Chains A and B, each alone.
Chain A
Amino acid sequence: MITAEQKPMDEIRRMIAPYKRILVLGCASCVAECAAGGEKETAMLASALRMAARMEKQEVEIEEKTIDRQCVNEFIVLLDDIVDQYDTILSLGCGAGVQAVGDMFPEIPVIPALNTEFLGETKNQGVWVENCLGCGDCMLYYFGGICPLARCPKQLLNGPCGGSVNGKCEINPDLDCAWQLIIDRLSRFGALDRLEEIYPPKDWSKKQGSGPRKIVREDQQE
């Protein structure tokens, strides 16, 4: 999932200050799972903004709506009938959602209410962790299902570095050393010998070699 957190209230209020008719737009997918931009968070943000406006005696119309996915056109078009009523959309989608909505309605500014963070998993209730860079060439097989690019701060493919102590990373004592996890996992699988070979430099062209990436699947096109 793509994770995000809500921006500070002051920053949001500064960005929406010039507008009088605001649609606060939630997204029921990833950002709902990470409790940043789902229906509930959208209602709470809209209500907090209305209250703040009232306190300062500002005449602002703030309404809310949540769609299933802000990053897929077939859901964005559901806004077609109502979008004219607003002079801005405050989006609680991820960065992809904000841009997709903006592309669909280029005449209206779409303002981000969230800081989009990472590709990760829900570890515990209220805890999300990054574990994938989206590098375009998955190497998880070699490392026992633990990604050193996403989880080792030095992105070592031939770790661990000299800062691994008692299974923890030198960067932060709360962070497990990804390489200790890799070694433990591979030894459980009896595959520790996999780490004796030298992994060559990563081919980063699959991530950022020629600008923004694009997937084209002819079999999926009508």
Chain B
Amino acid sequence: MKAMSRLKQILERGEFAVTAECGPPKGADPEVIIKKGKILRGSVDAVNVTDNQTAIVRMSSLAACSLLERAGLDPVLQMVVRDRNRIALQSDILGASAIGIRNLLCLSGDHQCFGNQPQTVGVFDLDSIQFLQAVKRMRDEGTIIGGDELSAPPDLFIGAAANPFADPLAFRVIRLAKKITAGADFIQTQCIYNLDRFESWISMAMDKGLPEKVYILGGVTPLKSPGMARYMKTRVSGIDIPDEMIERMEGVPKDKQREEGIRICVETILRLKEMPGVKGVHIMAIEWEDAVGEIVERAGLLPRPGI
């Protein structure tokens, strides 16, 4: 039987989608990824597998997706243009589709200077928008860059990232429109903490009619501690955490901070659920996959609809 994207079906049916992030291990043990998959199964519609995030060498996203697919999950393959030229990107896309992966998230990737291989060369042969366009043409027109025809096109639900919190705000919406034109079927946003800014971004996108053309999944990351919040605010570019939120995390005893982080995350999801133009949520619980089930349940998103 031909594999289908569960994420695509959920979104097309108008259900509020739930996805979660899953980071592959810094090693070759398949059990790590299978265990994470088991924790997430039933709580989410699809599992998004990072591609050497923060430029740190990990098990390949493609292999980890394959393990998750065999374990009965619907994986979203993240692929960054940092490490592969257009030959490798297009080749891996064909391979991913061939082994039954049905969702692809096209990213530029964290710069190599942040990771554990700072002496490497950054490829950046394509940028994320050109990459989206290439994948869409492979799927819809059956051609690769340059026009050569494929013997069989890949079957992929194509995603892209958007950061409503980076600058300049007005251009963020233009870039979203470019990503949609290039081929994005769904959008995953950067972690949302500043809901006011997110709302102004989404309303600017609504003015251009963009949420009608693409499924927007709001990104959320539960905070573990005020320290993590301060670190993300000051050290991670494009993350916007309001001071009130950091103060809220500081205001609870240490042993209650994780609970507070989950509570903030659930409140954010509840607001996103009511926001026009938002079609789902993407939960990035960094090395804290255990929290996902609870967050989804408390946000009233269980049980996940059957297909």
- What is the interface of chain A, defined by CB distance below 8 A to chain B? 153-167, 170-171, 177, 180, 183, 195-196, 198-202, 204
The answer to whether B167 and A201 have CB atoms under 8 Å apart is: no
* Chain B residues with CB under 8 A of A154: 82, 108, 111, 122, 124, 127
The answer to whether B111 and A166 have CB atoms under 8 Å apart is: no
Given A158-B178, A160-B171, A196-B178, are A165 and B238 also a contact pair (CB < 8 Å)? yes
Given A162-B161, A183-B171, are A201 and B86 also a contact pair (CB < 8 Å)? yes
The answer to whether B113 and A196 have CB atoms under 8 Å apart is: no
Tell me which of B111, B133, B168, B190 contacts A170 (CB under 8 A): B111
The answer to whether A158 and B127 have CB atoms under 8 Å apart is: yes
* Chain A residues with CB under 8 A of B120: none
Tell me which of A157, A162, A199, A200 contacts B238 (CB under 8 A): A162
B145 contacts the other chain (CB 8 A): yes
The answer to whether A158 and B145 have CB atoms under 8 Å apart is: no
Q: Mind listing 17 A-B residue pairs with CB under 8 Å?
A: A153-B111, A153-B122, A154-B82, A157-B127, A161-B108, A162-B161, A164-B166, A164-B237, A165-B167, A170-B111, A180-B168, A183-B168, A196-B177, A196-B178, A198-B181, A200-B133, A202-B125
Given the complex of chains A and B, what is the CA–CA distance between A91 and B238 in angstroms? 46
Given the complex of chains A and B, what is the CA–CA distance between A177 and B238 in angstroms? 13
The answer to whether B111 and A171 have CB atoms under 8 Å apart is: yes
CB distance from B131 to the nearest CB of A (A): 9
B129 contacts the other chain (CB 8 A): yes
A-B CB contacts (within 8 Å), total count:
90
Given the complex of chains A and B, what is the CA–CA distance between A155 and B123 in angstroms? 9
Given the complex of chains A and B, what is the CA–CA distance between A157 and B174 in angstroms? 14
Q: Mark B138-173, 1 if CB is under 8 A from A, else 0.
A: 000000010000000000000001110111100100
B130 contacts the other chain (CB 8 A): yes
Given the complex of chains A and B, what is the CA–CA distance between A30 and B86 in angstroms? 35
Given the complex of chains A and B, what is the CA–CA distance between A157 and B129 in angstroms? 9
Given the complex of chains A and B, what is the CA–CA distance between A180 and B175 in angstroms? 13
* Chain B residues with CB under 8 A of A201: 86, 125-126, 130, 134, 145
- Can you name 20 extra interface pairs (CB under 8 A) apart from A153-B113, A160-B167, A170-B238? A154-B108, A156-B124, A156-B128, A157-B127, A160-B166, A160-B168, A162-B163, A162-B190, A164-B167, A165-B167, A167-B167, A195-B174, A196-B177, A196-B178, A198-B129, A198-B182, A200-B130, A201-B134, A201-B145, A202-B125
| Range for the number of chain B residues in contact with chain A | 20 to 34
Given the complex of chains A and B, what is the CA–CA distance between A205 and B251 in angstroms? 58
* Chain A residues with CB under 8 A of B166: 160-165
* Chain B residues with CB under 8 A of A165: 166-167, 237-238
Residue of A nearest to B240 (CB): A165
* Chain A residues with CB under 8 A of B130: 157-158, 198-201
* Chain B residues with CB under 8 A of A200: 130, 133
* Chain B residues with CB under 8 A of A159: 127
Chain B 11-60 interface residues, beta-carbon cutoff 8 Å to A: none
Residue of A nearest to B127 (CB): A156
Residue of A nearest to B174 (CB): A196
CB distance from B209 to the nearest CB of A (A): 15
CB distance from A187 to the nearest CB of B (A): 10
The answer to whether A155 and B238 have CB atoms under 8 Å apart is: no
The answer to whether A198 and B168 have CB atoms under 8 Å apart is: no
Given the complex of chains A and B, what is the CA–CA distance between A170 and B237 in angstroms? 6
* Chain B residues with CB under 8 A of A183: 168, 171
The answer to whether A198 and B238 have CB atoms under 8 Å apart is: no
Given the complex of chains A and B, what is the CA–CA distance between A155 and B174 in angstroms? 19
The answer to whether B237 and A155 have CB atoms under 8 Å apart is: no
CB distance from A169 to the nearest CB of B (A): 8
* Chain A residues with CB under 8 A of B237: 162-165, 170
CB distance from B152 to the nearest CB of A (A): 23
Given the complex of chains A and B, what is the CA–CA distance between A167 and B162 in angstroms? 18
CB distance from A193 to the nearest CB of B (A): 9
Which of the listed residues B126, B128, B181, B237 has the most CB atoms from chain A within 10 Å of its own CB? Answer: B237
* Chain A residues with CB under 8 A of B161: 162
Given the complex of chains A and B, what is the CA–CA distance between A163 and B171 in angstroms? 13
* Chain A residues with CB under 8 A of B171: 160, 183, 195
Given the complex of chains A and B, what is the CA–CA distance between A17 and B84 in angstroms? 42
* Chain B residues with CB under 8 A of A160: 166-168, 171, 175
Given the complex of chains A and B, what is the CA–CA distance between A181 and B239 in angstroms? 21
CB distance from B208 to the nearest CB of A (A): 11
CB distance from A154 to the nearest CB of B (A): 5
Given the complex of chains A and B, what is the CA–CA distance between A196 and B145 in angstroms? 21
Given the complex of chains A and B, what is the CA–CA distance between A101 and B129 in angstroms? 45
Given the complex of chains A and B, what is the CA–CA distance between A159 and B174 in angstroms? 10
The answer to whether B108 and A204 have CB atoms under 8 Å apart is: no
CB distance from B123 to the nearest CB of A (A): 9
Residue of B nearest to A202 (CB): B125
